[in-house]
Structures are given as C-alpha cells and as structure tokens.
A and B are shown apart, each in its own frame.
Chain A
C-alpha cells in the first residue's frame, strides 16, 4: 500500500501546476537505488544510464494512473526490472544468442569496464553472480546487495515469497561453489 509520502507526491503530481516539481522529487528520492539495481543487471554504466532514463520516462507517463495498492518504490523497481530485461533481450536479438549467453558477454564487459573499482574478490563475486540465470541473478542482487525484504521483492517480481527464498538459497549455494573453485 502507498504510504503517506507516496500519497503526497501523487497528489502533487496529479496537479498539473506541480507535476514537474513532484516528479523531480521522486527522481531525487529513488535515482541512486534504481541506478544500482539496473547497473547490477546490465553491468555497463552507459547502458545503465540509458535504461534508467527509460525507466523514469515510463514512470512519468504512467504515474497519473498509478493504483495505490503498492508502494511507488516497488512500482518503480518493477519498471526498472522490466526495462533492464528488455534491454538484455534486445542485446540478445542483436548478437543472436540466448538471454543467458548474454551473461558471458557481460562477464567480458565486466573485466573491461573502466567504471569497475572493486578488488579482485569483488570482481570474482560479480562473475560468479553472472553465472546465475538472469532472473535468479536479480533475486540475489535484490536480497544480498539491496537488502530488500522478501515481501517487497514479491511485489517487484510478482513471485511468491516462498519461491523467492528458495531461489535465493540456491543462488547462494551456486555462488559459494563457484568461489571455492576459483581459489
């Protein structure tokens, strides 16, 4: 359910005279969280920037009709997730590989990324995460790095809490196995 701040922002947005101000506030509130969520999926900074712009454009177009049966933040996450997957699917079409083979391409991109500042162990962890199926990778990122509650993840993904917990558990096991092999 939308909380009081969400309701206030929506009220301002629905008034044409304060729409842009309300949306700027929304962007300010959520831009970093959404960026990192997207970045962990698409890896490349420029790609993440493009997907983030598209996410906010889509949010602007649809916010007027937002049904307050969820929080704005999980709604935005849902858009960002769908836009990220669309982006990866368009990459898949362009290079004629399966969606999960795109992960190999992303892994190469990871190594070449000038905007990668982590230590060797963090690079290895990111490569381990890239071995997961795309959707499982998203579940892992949302839980491990973004520390989202399962209930919020369920709103974002439209999947049950039980399935998400099982997916996360298996993701952790796979990553641990990968990391053991590498050392």
Chain B
C-alpha cells in the first residue's frame, strides 16, 4: 500500500522501457546458492570462533594480553644493562619496546595497543596498511559496547 511519501515518488523514466523491465534483476546466482546458504553461514559462524567469544569476561580480555606484555617486559629488563641506582618500573621497560615487539611477542593488534593504553595513537605511525577498517570497526564496537557506528557521511546531493 502506497504511503503519502510514495505518492510523491520520483519515477525513473527511460523511453521505450517499462518500470517492470528496468527493475528486472540483472544478476543471477549459481544454481542452488540460496538452498545451501544457511548451513554455510552457520559453519562460518562456528569457524570464526564467535561462539567461544560470547561470554568472555572483560577481565580475561584485558589480563591475558597484559600477561604477555609482562613476560616480554621482564625479558627485556633482564637483557637491558641497568644503572646501579635506578630500578626501572614496568612502564619504563614497556616504553623501551618498539610497537613491532609488542605486536609480535604479545600477539596484539595495533588497535588493541591503543585501546589498552599501551601506546599513543601517534606512535603507530598510522598509515593505510597498519589499521584495516575491520580493526577500526572492532575497536569502535569494543569501545562503545556494540554501538554500530555508521560510516555513512552526509549523502552527496
């Protein structure tokens, strides 16, 4: 049933062709694609590890990577010659590690380094290849408790 809005609709007119013809689907799919789609999607969901991620407590998400960093930091501390009068603290040691070390040994993604406050955004020397949009979206979702931020700006007119 047409609403008041639809009555003012702008019709696409192409001379010699009906709306029905124009709206006909130009694309096709492989035979049986939709018949097999649901089981394939459920398989993808299982394989993505999503089932195990639901219910992870936040304390586990924070402490497991922190433990990895602590191991790297202790390792670095033992290898770094220390001045006699100074006992470096954890933050000082972490500051000596490069972003690459933290990513490699603590198995963290660059976006996680920022969200865990281990590096400043500027240290990541952001370029297109460092952060993928996937990582950005995941970071935003984590930060805003699954509020999906639209990336659609003002529609161009």
Contacts and interface: CB of A to CB of B under 8 A. Distances in A.
Interface residues of A, number: 70
A89 B133 contact: yes
Contacts, number: 150
Given A23-B42, A57-B48, A64 B54 contact: yes
Nearest to B43: A53
Contact of A159 (B27, B128, B152): B152
Interface residues of B, number: 51
B22 to A, nearest CB: 6
Contacts of B34: 31-32, 35
Task: Summarize A's interface: helix, strand, loop or mixed.
Answer: helix
Interface in A58-97: 60-62, 64-66, 75, 78-79, 81-82, 85-86, 89-90, 93
A163 B154 contact: yes
A133 B152 CA distance: 12
A28 B38 contact: yes
Given A31-B41, A39-B27, A118-B24, A170 B157 contact: yes
A157 B26 contact: no
Given A57-B48, A66-B146, 9 more contacts: A82-B137, A115-B28, A116-B26, A116-B28, A121-B14, A122-B22, A157-B152, A164-B155, A172-B10
Interface of A: 20, 23-24, 27-28, 31-32, 35-36, 39-40, 45, 49, 52-53, 56-57, 60-62, 64-66, 75, 78-79, 81-82, 85-86, 89-90, 93, 113, 115-119, 121-123, 125-126, 133, 135-136, 139, 144-145, 149-150, 157-159, 161, 163-170, 172, 175-176, 179-180, 183
